[in-house]
A and B are shown apart, each in its own frame.
Chain A
Amino acid sequence: MNVKFNNRDPVYVQVVRYFKEQIAKGFFEPGQEIPSRRELAHRLKINPNTAQRAYKEMEEQGLIFTEGNLPSRITKDEGVLKKVRKELIMEAVETFVHSVRTINVPLEEVLQIVREYYEKADYARGHTHD
């Protein structure tokens, strides 16, 4: 786990986002055990109270669940997992659309460029991914 946090968004929100990304990428599998709050704080080098807050938020959003005194786990609820993926996609698309709109590029042209670039970027990422 290696996350760079920015200083202006609540750290707990950034932790939740990190978990969503890991879930969407398939790095966290449904039902997978996740670190304890204390361990997460230590690994991400954040305040333990913040880690606690992030877990509380994720529990409320149904991303993780805890049974009794057992370690928390990633949800097995397919609906929630699909929603996470969609949420991340929508967020990226919104940002993208917003920025291409401000420079007035026709949709068809954008889609063409996206299609070409997507293949290339995917290839490049395959080589630099850590």
Chain B
Amino acid sequence: MQGGIPMIEVKNVTKKFGRKEVLKGVSFTAEKGQITCLIGINGVGKTTIMQAIMSLIPINSGEIFIDGSKLTKDSYEKITFIPDTITMLPQMRIGDAFTFMADFYQSWNQKRAEELLEFFKLEETERISELSKGNTAKVNILLGLALDVDYLLMDEPFSGIDIFSREEIANVFTSHLIEDRGVIITTHEINDIEHLIDKVVLIDNGIVLKEFHVEEVREKEGKSVIDVMREVYEK
């Protein structure tokens, strides 16, 4: 931990799939209580980083620390990964998914789950297969947010859904439901969330091109996130 601040630290991580080097020494930090956004124009790398943080895939070299310690089985009580598609069976009702999650995770917080359900205006009796794309995305995110974990990793929470659903999901980030947790989200679209995030990590071709706090760049350089992206990617 740097200066005793709780955070996720990714240090010099490399990852090869066969001969293809997907991560070529990736380093960045994501503090608790902040929303860190991993942006990449080319798809490669972002999801792999999240999977590496979760130890879902082995890395070839480098280190990852969560609050100063390496990931162990116990860390799973601290962190969760929300993939870009729902992993529940389509025939389940939302309530069944809640029961499943409660059986599977000690950190399941039923009260928060119900609060989120109300926030998204959904009902426990609704069947997952009958939900719209936007509502499926909301349920998917809800299941992760309802866990009492310190860190949430979200893979493309805004992609492929309608604008109103995107807005509703974005609203969660400004609500009390996110509390003081640390969030890492990947996206290739920054427009909707520019005012919601604390920090940006720009990734391209397996390396970090730039890591910056958005308010700082606005204050010191008068630049928007897109201004910075244009500079960095057009080099």
Contacts and interface: CB of A to CB of B under 8 A. Distances in A.
Interface of A: 5, 7-13, 38, 41-42, 44-50, 53
Contacts, number: 53
A11 B34 CA distance: 16
B223 A50 contact: no
B218 A50 contact: no
Given A11-B195, A41-B174, A49-B198, 20 more contacts: A7-B194, A7-B218, A7-B225, A7-B227, A8-B218, A8-B222, A9-B218, A9-B222, A10-B219, A13-B219, A38-B176, A42-B175, A44-B174, A45-B174, A45-B195, A46-B195, A47-B173, A47-B174, A47-B195, A53-B215
Interface residues of B, number: 24
26 contacts: A5-B195, A7-B218, A7-B224, A7-B227, A8-B218, A8-B222, A10-B215, A10-B219, A11-B218, A12-B215, A38-B175, A41-B174, A42-B171, A42-B174, A42-B176, A44-B174, A45-B170, A45-B171, A45-B195, A45-B196, A47-B195, A47-B197, A47-B198, A48-B178, A49-B198, A50-B215
Q: For the complex, would chain A's binding face be called helix, strand, loop or mixed by DSSP majority?
A: helix
Interface string B24-65: 000000000111000000000000000000000000000000
Interface of B: 33-35, 170-171, 173-176, 178, 194-198, 215, 218-219, 222-227
Given A46-B196, A47-B35, A47-B198, A10 B171 contact: no
A105 B173 CA distance: 50
Contacts of A53: 215
Given A7-B194, A10-B219, A38-B176, A49 B227 contact: no
A128 B35 CA distance: 38
Contacts of A46: 174, 195-196
A6 to B, nearest CB: 8
A48 B223 contact: no
Contact of B223 (A8, A13, A38): A8
Nearest to A43: B174
Q: Considering residues B171, B173, B174, B226, which has the most beta carbons from chain A within 10 angstroms of its beta carbon?
A: B174
B196 to A, nearest CB: 5
